[in-house]
Amino acid sequence: MEALDYHAEERRKAEFDVEEMKIVWAGSRQAYEVFRKDNRTMLSRKDLFKDTLRKAAHAWKRIIELRLSEEEASKLRFFVDQPVFTDLHWGMFIPAIKGQGNDEQQQKWLPMAYKMQIIGCYAQTELGHGSNVQGLETTAIFDPETDEFVIHSPTLTSSKWWPGGLGKVSTHALVYARLITDGQDHGVHGFIVQLRSLDDHLPLPGITVGDIGMKFGSGAYNSMDNGVLRFDHVRIPRDQMLMGVSQVTREGKFMQSDVPRQLVYGTMVYVRQKIVADASCALSRAVCIATRYSVVRRQFGSHNGGPETQVIDYKTQQSRLFPLLASAYAFRFVGEWLKWLYTDVTQRLQASDFSTLPEVHACTAGLKSVTTSATADAIEECRKLCGGHGYLSSSGLPELFAVYVPACTYEGDNVVLLLQVARFLMKTVSQLGSGKKPVGTIAYMGRSEHLLQCRCEVERAEDWLKPNVILEAFEARAARMSVTCAKNLNNFPNQEEGFAQLATDLAEAAVAHVQLIIVSKFIEKLQQDIPGKGVKRQLEILFNVYALSLLHKHLGDFVASGCITPKQGALANEQLRLLYSQVRPNAIALVDAFNYTDHFLGSVLGRYDGNVYPKLYEEAWKDPLNETVVPDGYHEYIRPILKQHIRVARL
C-alpha cells in the first residue's frame, strides 16, 4: 500500500521552488541507516556509551574506506547525530595544537591525531573554575634538573571537570595549567599530557581519571564521557608545553616567541562560528518538527461535522512558531558570514594585522551567546507548540533540548560573554570623540550623533517592510542603549563598581548590538543574487518576520530609547500579523528546504509524510514496559493492594 503524504496539499501551496531553497539552505542530506537512534533514550548508560563507540568506530572505518576529505568526514560525523569523543578530538584538540603549537610540535602530534593513533580532549575547565580561566589551579612547575614539567592538582577544586572524551576514551589531553618557573607564576598555558597507555588503555602513574556521571535528559549528552581528571606530580617533557606563542628554555627562562600571541584568536573564532552554525541546525530541526505537526494536528473549529481547524491556522500558534522559523534562517545566514570572518581573520593574523581582533572577539562572543540562548529557548517553545505529544521521547524534542542546552554554558557562559561584548561597546563609545573610526559590525557607532537624534518616519504598517527603516531602528536602539550605559558608568567613581552595578543594563545593550548584527547580515544576504522562483520573496518575508518579531519582543527598548513611538510599535505589530498570513501557505515548504531526512530528524511528529498518529501508536508498543502484559512486580506489589493482603505493622 502506498504511504499517505498528509503534507502533499501543503506542499502544493508553496509559492517558491523548494529545491532551490534547499540549495540556499545547505545542499543535500543523506541518511546512514546503520546509525540507528530510535531506541537511544531507552538504553542504559553503559549500553548507550557502547553504542556511541560502535558508531564512532564505524564512521571512522567509512572515512578511511571512502577516502573522505576533512570536510566530508566532518559531514559524516555530523550525521552520526550523537555526542561522541571525536567531537572534541577534531573540534578542540587538533585546532588547539594547530593554533598554539610551534612547527615542530605540529609535525610531531598532528599526523598521529589525524590518523587517530592518539585520541585527544581539551582539559581546561575545573571543578572550581569555568569561565574564569585565569583562576585555574592546576600547576605545571618546571624542573630544570630533569628538563620536565610537573603537572599537579593541588586541591580538590583543581580537578579537571567536564572535558568531553576524557572520562573513558582519550589517550591524551591538552591540559591548561598555571606555568611556574623558578617560583614565578606566568599564568595559564597549554600542555600535551598522555593520560592512558596506548597498549592496554590503563591510566598512567599519577593519573586519576573517570566519568563525572549522568547528565540531564535521556540519551542526549549521556553518550559523551565527560570526565574528571587529577594529577599527582605527573612529569612530562618540556617540549610538550605548547610553544607557538610562548616557551620555556632549557635553563627555565620564560620567553614570548616571535609569533604574536593574538594568533590564538584564530582557534576561538573557528570554534564559535561552528557553535553558531550548530545553533541554526538545532533550531531548524525543532522548527521542522513543530511546523509539520502543527499542520497535522487539528483542534476545535469544526463546522457542520467538517474537519477541525489545523493548529497552524491559529494566530497564537503562528505568532509563536513563525518567528522561530525566521530565526533558523537568520542564524543560518549569520553563520555563513562567520565562516567568511574566520577566513578573513586568519589571513589578517598571518599578515600580522591585528586591527580587527577586538571587534572580532566581541562579535563572535556575542553571536555565540545570543544564538545559543535563543535556540535553547526555541527548542523548548517548539516542544510546547506540539502540545502533550511534544513531551514524548518519540517526538525528538526532549532529547534535542537536552543535548543542545549545554551550548549556553560551554565555550563561555552566555551572560559572561555578553558582558565581554559590553566592555568592547563601552570602550568604543569612549573613543568616539578621538577621531578613531569604528569599523566592521561596530561601524554604525560612527554615526552615533545622527542615531541619537533620528526619529523613525514610519507612518503606515507597510513602511516597516523597508529594510533601511528596520536597519536604522535597530542601529538607533543599539547606539542609544550603549551610549546611555556609558553615561551611567561615568556617574560611578570606580569604573569596575559601575560595571558591576549596571551589569544587567550592559548585557541588554550587548544583546541589542548582536541582534543588529544578525539583522544586518540577513539584509546583506537579500542583496545577493538568489536564484530560484520565488525564493528571494520568501526570504524577504522571513527577514521581516524576524526583525519585526524582535522589535515586538523588545518594544520597551525601542520606545524607551526614543527611536520609535508607541504608535509606530503598534504599526509594526500590525504588519507582523499580515506577514504571518504570507508565511502560512509556504510553511511546510520552508521547513522541507532544510532537507532533513526522517532518520536524521528522529521525530514521529516531524515525519515528512505527516503520518503521525499511526506511528505514535506503533512507537508506544516498542517500549520495554510493553514486552509483558502483566508488569514485573505485579504479584509482589499490586496484587496485595488489590486483594487487601497488606500486613499492617502493630505499634
- In order, the DSSP letters of 357-413 are HHHHHHHHHHHHHHHHHHHHHHHHHHHHHTGGGGGSGGGSHHHHHHHHGGGGTTTS-
Residues of the chain with CATH 1.20.140.10: 266-435+460-593
- Whether 484 has a binding-site annotation, put simply, is no
**259 — pLDDT class (breaks 50, 70, 90):** low
The 10 Å Cβ neighbour count of residue 117 is 10
Alpha helices in 45-162 (DSSP H): 45-66, 70-80, 85-88, 94-100, 103-114
Query: At residue 2, does pLDDT exceed 80?
Result: no
CB 206 within 8 A of CB 231: yes
CB 113 within 8 A of CB 120: yes
Query: What does pLDDT average to over the chain?
Result: 92
Share of the chain above pLDDT 70, in %: 94
- Whether 164 has a binding-site annotation, put simply, is yes
- B/e letters for 205-234, b = 16+ CB within 10 Å, e = fewer, are eebebebbeebebebbbbbbbbbbbbbeeb
The pTM of this model reads 0.91
What pLDDT, on the 0 to 100 scale, is given for residue 358?
Answer: 87
Q: Considering only the top CATH level, what class is 103-256?
A: mainly beta
What would the grid cell of residue 27 be?
545542499
Residue with cell 496485595: 640
**334 — pLDDT class (breaks 50, 70, 90):** very high
**25 — pLDDT class (breaks 50, 70, 90):** low
**4 — pLDDT class (breaks 50, 70, 90):** low
What pLDDT, on the 0 to 100 scale, is given for residue 609?
Answer: 94
CATH topology for 266-435+460-593? Butyryl-CoA Dehydrogenase, subunit A; domain 3 (1.20.140)
Among 203-217, 364-378, 427-441, the range scoring the smallest mean pLDDT is 427-441
Residue from 381, 411, 472, 475 carrying the catalytic annotation: 411
Residues of the chain with CATH 2.40.110.10: 103-256
411 is catalytic: yes
What would the grid cell of residue 473 be?
531602528
Closest CA to 551 of 579, 524, 531: 579
Contacts of 517 (CB under 8 A, 6+ apart): 334, 363, 366, 367, 441
Tell me how far apart the alpha carbons of residues 420 and 439 are, in angstroms, rounded to a whole number. Answer: 18
312 or 39: which leads in pLDDT? 312
Query: At residue 497, does pLDDT exceed 70?
Result: yes
Among 13-27, 234-248, 403-417, the range scoring the smallest mean pLDDT is 13-27
What is the number of alpha carbons within 13 Å of residue 98 lying toward its C-beta? 18
